[in-house]
Amino acid sequence: MPHAKRYGWFLLHSVVAGLAAAFVISQVFPAAVRWMHATTATASDAHERVISYADAVRSAAPAVVSIYADKLITEQTLIRVPSNSTVQRFSGLAYGPPRTRLERALGSGVIVTEDGYVLTNHHVIAGASQIRIALWDGRVTQANLIGSDADTDLAVLKMEGSALPALTLDPEVPKEVGDVVLAIGNPFGLSQTVTQGIVSGLSRNQLNLRAYEDFIQTDAAINEGNSGGALINARGQLIGINTFVLGRINGAEGIGFAIPMGTASAVFEEIKQHGIVVRGWMGAEYGDAPLLPGSLDTGAARGVALTAIYSGGPAHAAGLKAGDVLLKFNGETISDQGELRLREAGLSPGQSVNISGLRAGVPFDVTLDLAQRPISTTN
């Protein structure tokens, strides 16, 4: 009996000591308690949580359409001529009557207004005689071309409809390198195909593919037919219009590009209002200037070097010459040719700009009035 009594006292003492210790820990180290609770909850819930982007796809995919652009291609034919003809002695062939054949381009598009405006790539619909759009629910309708812009590879179509599913053109949607993204489109005719990747880079330019380049780089698979489709984030928000991929022929894999919303929304509004994109133009060609001695150490501006001046253009009237190095545009430092091209295009014809630069090492300042950039017809 004394044995049992001593054991009882020992047990009671242990329980009291344990409770006291727990109280002290909870008061002195509350973060540790919260961590233990969180760890327990995480361990118990981990097997129940499955990462899925189904909600994002459900909200965005209905606004992504398939585009079929019919193009009539006229080509010269060759015919075999009789053996006794003069031509036969040389090749046996001569030009025959031209023939016309139908070529169908495959692409994607994004409905950006509920009344049927669609944004796609210029190269998808360039030269098309007829454009058809297939919606996510299987309906097929004709579309009219409102206008296109080869310089950014964007085009605006209009189809009949109301209360259509649409994605918002919002340049303020945040995006960072490392964000998960989904590409939705019509690769090889497989409509509503979704591929996943991340944002691999931002503000990519100097790829020499378009006049104006400010691309989002992604490793989400972009294939033939994806052009003009949507690049969305994990919340289903539109962040880019898929445009091209560096192919295996270049030794590249997983390097695709999309046009960001800042460019897409601006071009859309210009085409919707004017049918074309109206841009400012200096009347000069330029490229990145060679690095100056010590510029990497001092952080000095690299600037751009003028390579050609158009006779009668604003740069010519202002006295600029090939070989001049431009360092500032309207008081802001010029980092590279891509940056200057975007700034130049962002202003309206007739606006005056101040330019600072160097000619044979001697500083100069000029003012010129921008003209309207000629419309590019490059496919």
pLDDT digits (tens, 9 = 90+) for 292-318: 545 444 445 578 999 999 999 999 999
Axis crossing angle, helix 30-45 with helix 2-28, rounded to the nearest 10: 100
C-alpha span between 91 and 58 (Å, rounded): 61
C-alpha span between 90 and 81 (Å, rounded): 11
CB distance 165 to 101 below 8 Å: no
- What's the fold here for domain 280-372? Pdz3 Domain (2.30.42)
For residues 207 and 10, the model is more confident at 207
Tokens linked to 149 = 């812009």
CB distance 156 to 143 below 8 Å: no
Candidate list 149, 151, 153, 214, residue with the active-site label: 153
**At residue 134, what is the residue type?**
A
Of 176, 365, 150, give the one whose Cα is nearest residue 277.
Answer: 150
pLDDT for 103 = 81
pLDDT at 28 over 80: no
pLDDT for 173 = 92
| 153 catalytically annotated | yes
| 123 catalytically annotated | yes
CATH 2.40.10.10 correct for 180-274:
yes
Candidate list 122, 123, 151, 324, residue with the active-site label: 123
Q: Taking the CB of residue 201, how many other CB atoms lie within 10 A of it?
A: 13
Residues 6 or more apart whose Cβ sits within 8 Å of residue 264: 119, 154, 169, 240, 241
Could you give the angle at the alpha carbon of 75 between the alpha carbons of 142 and 127, nearest 5°? 30
Burial of 85 (0-12, 13-18, 19+ CB in 10 A): exposed
Q: Taking the CB of residue 229, how many other CB atoms lie within 10 A of it?
A: 32
Q: Indicate the pairing of strand 154-158 with strand 140-149.
A: antiparallel
C-alpha span between 7 and 1 (Å, rounded): 10
- What φ, ψ does residue 6 adopt, rounded to 5°? -65, -40
Highest mean pLDDT among 83-92, 210-219, 232-241: 232-241
Residue range(s) in the chain whose domain bears CATH number 2.30.42.10: 280-372
pLDDT for 110 = 97
Residue range(s) in the chain whose domain bears CATH number 2.40.10.10: 180-274
Q: Mean pLDDT across the chain, nearest whole number? A: 81
Q: Indicate the pairing of strand 193-204 with strand 284-288.
A: unpaired
pLDDT digits (tens, 9 = 90+) for 61-114: 999 999 999 987 777 666 666 655 554 444 556 666 777 777 888 999 999 999
pLDDT at 33 over 50: no
DSSP bridge pairs for 100: 74
pLDDT for 30 = 52
pLDDT for 181 = 95
C-alpha span between 85 and 322 (Å, rounded): 55
User: Could you tell me what percent of the chain has a pLDDT over 90?
Assistant: 49
Of 110, 116, 118, give the one whose Cα is nearest residue 238.
Answer: 110
pLDDT digits (tens, 9 = 90+) for 9-20: 444 455 445 545
CB distance 152 to 210 below 8 Å: yes
C-alpha span between 239 and 265 (Å, rounded): 11
User: Could you tell me what percent of the chain has a pLDDT over 70?
Assistant: 75
- What φ, ψ does residue 85 adopt, rounded to 5°? -85, 160
Find the mean pLDDT for residues 120-145.
93
DSSP bridge pairs for 366: 355
pTM for the model stands at 0.73
Give the three-state DSSP class for 324: coil
N- to C-terminal Cα separation, the chain: 101
Of 220, 211, 214, give the one whose Cα is nearest residue 56.
Answer: 220
pLDDT for 295 = 47
Find the mean pLDDT for residues 232-254.
82
Candidate list 108, 227, 265, 356, residue with the active-site label: 227
**At residue 199, what is the residue type?**
V
| 356 catalytically annotated | no
